[in-house]
Amino acid sequence: MDLPRGFRYSGVAAGIKASAKKDIALIVADEAATVAGVYTQNIVRAASIDWNVAVTPSSQFRAIVVNSGNANACTGDEGVANNRQMAETTAAALAVMPEQVAVLSTGVIGVQLPIEKVERGIGTAAEHLSNSEASFTAASEAITTTDKSPKTVQASVSIGGQTVTIAALAKGAGMIGPRMATMLGVVMIDGEVTTEVAQKILDVATAASFNRISVEGHMSTNDAVLLLASGKSGVVISNEADVDQLTNAVTDVCIQLAKMIPADGEGATHLVQIDVQGTESNEEADQIARTVAASALVKTAVTGNDPNWGRIVSAVGYAGVDLDAHKINLKLNGFELFAAGQPVAFDAAEVSKSIGDNFETLIELSVGGGSGKAKHWTSDLTVEYVRFNSEYTT
């Protein structure tokens, strides 16, 4: 599938990572592009977040520079200066203004950036920019940390008989907790939109995707997702119907990316989808889904292929939503385990086998007659997750 027109990419190794893997990426718009962003809600946040909040949204955007292996978070005045240096070095290499550059960082918190390596890496990355599939792949590799593999999605949508192409990349496997953005991500389109429309599209897409995933519920200091629109397809998206169509397409791409993150959760053996319906509002359904997803007991039950429905039902009960316990219904991988507040006879071995035989586990909850509904995706909790994160900086 073609990449969106008007963008170039690169990914190189600058020596930030001890593994010598790629750790600097550039995503560059050939001409002024529209950008919108969503960012972590953690009040302890990286220097890159403050910088990006100041420079987005914008209709004069040109580039994103990403470093992996170092979060540049909780690094004080030196970290702020290093972040600005990344933007200025990128701007100089591309002959643009620093304010036209966003900075994304990911990795270990509290360690100063090796700024000389970063600067050299930016220079090398600028020399290797290309609109090829290989360069797009290199950029997706360069933003990863503990990911098993890069995360990318490409798609297209027909609007008014013309094609708008979408490409997106993301990273994330641990320190994943919802409420923006749980990871780093960049979505590129070659349609033309205003900054207001771009922000609306990204807000809607994020709410349905990246804000509905978790691994361990730990909100990062560096979370960011950016939407870039080059306008190079010549398709102007302005009327409500076209905006809705593009929003749906971008949302679908973001949901695909979002599900890849808990599926790649550190040590994960299952991707868990939680569907909740029957609440008075979508917000209440979301609150229940998040509560079930955050339960270590639910997550470990999935790890052990244990259809321990009591853990799920009790999590619904402490979610803080006013509901009638006699109206709770639960299905696990399509098997009914609990109905109208009562346990249902089922073959535990059969349900256990259905969990063990499938990477994806589906938890379906109906809690009343309301129209509220929500989805959430999470990973299970394994011994490998505990081992990996107990040794992360040692």
The one catalytic residue in 145, 182, 247, 291 is 182
| C-alpha–C-alpha distance, residues 97 and 63, integer Å | 10
231: left (phi over 0), alpha (psi -120 to 50) or beta: left
Using DSSP's 3-state secondary structure scheme, residue 74 falls into coil
Between CA 350 and CA 276 the distance in angstroms is 23
Concerning whether 182 is annotated as a catalytic residue, the answer is yes
Strand order in the sheet with 329-332: 213-214, 372-379, 271-279, 360-366, 329-332, 335-339, 342-343
Tokens of 57: 């949204």
Residue 318 makes CB contacts below 8 A (sequence gap 6+) with 291
Q: Rounded to an integer, what distance in angstroms lies between the CA atom of residue 16 and that of residue 31? A: 30
98: preceding bond cis by omega (within 30 degrees):
no
Q: For the purposes of burial, counting CB atoms within 10 Å of the CB of 322, is it exposed (0-12), middle (13-18) or buried (19 or more)?
A: exposed
Other C-beta atoms lying within 10 Å of the C-beta of residue 231: 21
Three-state DSSP state, 24: strand
DSSP strand pairing (151-159 vs 162-171): antiparallel
Burial class (CB in 10 A: 0-12, 13-18, 19+), 111: middle
Catalytic residue positions? 182
